[in-house]
Chains A and B, each alone.
Chain A
Amino acid sequence: MRILVTVKFTPDLQSQRSFTDGTVTRTADDGSMNELDENAVEAALQLVEAAGEGEVYALTVGGADAVAAVRKALQLGANHAIHVNDDAVAGSDVFGTAAVLAAAIRKVHDENPLDLVITGMAALDGLTSMLPTALAAELDWSQLTLASSLEVGDGNATIVRHLPDAHETVTAPLPAVVSVTDELNKPRYPNFKLIMAARKAEVMQWSLADLGVDAASVGAGASRTTVVDASPRPPRAHQQIVTDTGNGGNALAAFLIEKGLA
């Protein structure tokens, strides 16, 4: 079982997040691997453990800081780490990012075929959830997205996905791109031995030229969308907090009535 997991460097959710020149500000001191990608790494590790053989690759694309995301995957138990680091990638939209990831995946796949690519369901900084679909389309592999359960066998993968109107069971031949929800599993914690090993582990550094990707086809220049304005929302004005000393419910009702909400 050979599985590649795509992981993303995202700002710490608890930190103040912001924009610089129309793109999300990402710095190493307050960021790590996107939390929902932990479920993807966990799914890959469990499948390899159950198969009794195989390898897990962690792949990220981004600036120098993004290496923290693949190091986190190594700490959790991934065997290999790849970092596509090229200034020309900056400002890519989801389609540009998918093209770069797909080129890196093909490079791994062509040397030794992969069975699966696993991703998280969304990145907690962007949350568009479009990347897994774009990646499956770009690779022209099977698309099994939003998996709440995942089984692999006999050359197929089968998932159950929970949509608002129905629970769908979907099956498709390998290789497949699978995105997993946080319902699928409970990610493990890194153990001390792996943390120490991850520090010294080699991270493969690839450029767009290594992947045969034309720099002009990705990045801000090729993006179909451009952020033209970004500004922090003002905090809520006239905030009222009362302590209930026997009249809290009446105060709440009065507030709702005054606002025309009751």
Chain B
Amino acid sequence: MAENGHENGHGHGDNAEYYSLKAEAIQALLIEKGVCTLDDILTMADRIDSRSPEDGAKVLAHAWVDPEYKQRLLADAESALLELGYDLPETAPKLTVLENTDDVHNMAVCTLCSCYPRAILGRPPAWYKGLAYRSKVVVDPRGVLQEFGTELDAAVQVRVIDSSADFRYLILPKRPAGTEGMSEEDLAKLITQESMIGVAQALSPDSVTAS
């Protein structure tokens, strides 16, 4: 199972083996001591698994087609999500939606840890939690955008949002040109995880019709 067969390796595989064992031990002790049950853990795991970028995309596509909904979403994201049946847990951090326009491009990061709108998008991608993104995006956002293949005109204001406290930020990407006749369902397919973090634009409509 371990991918490193090195005798004295100090690679990731060794750490994983050690910490997975530790996690298993902690879990077993918590159950033995009656702190929680296995069912508590499995239920929570399922709950976490149940959220994914598709949920965020559905909400944002709805905002694209319904301008009044968009205003409500930007003003009070949690109430607007509830309208679509997404009841965020009370313990979840507050959520704010920031809109990307012709003039302003927002992109989100957490330089201190890995804050992310998990309550609606699920777990963050690995690169979002990595040191390279966290270090670079605040000082060179346009360089980072280029790494994601995103070119922005110098006239567009780039606004980095470092989510350092009690709010999580979801980016509403710009609706691409040529999508006027598309259904909400097809529009949602244009809204990628990267575009909801703000490192990319929404996909162009050709990418969906082609598939």
**Chains A and B form a bound pair:** no
Residues of A within 8 A of B (CB): none
Residues of B within 8 A of A (CB): none
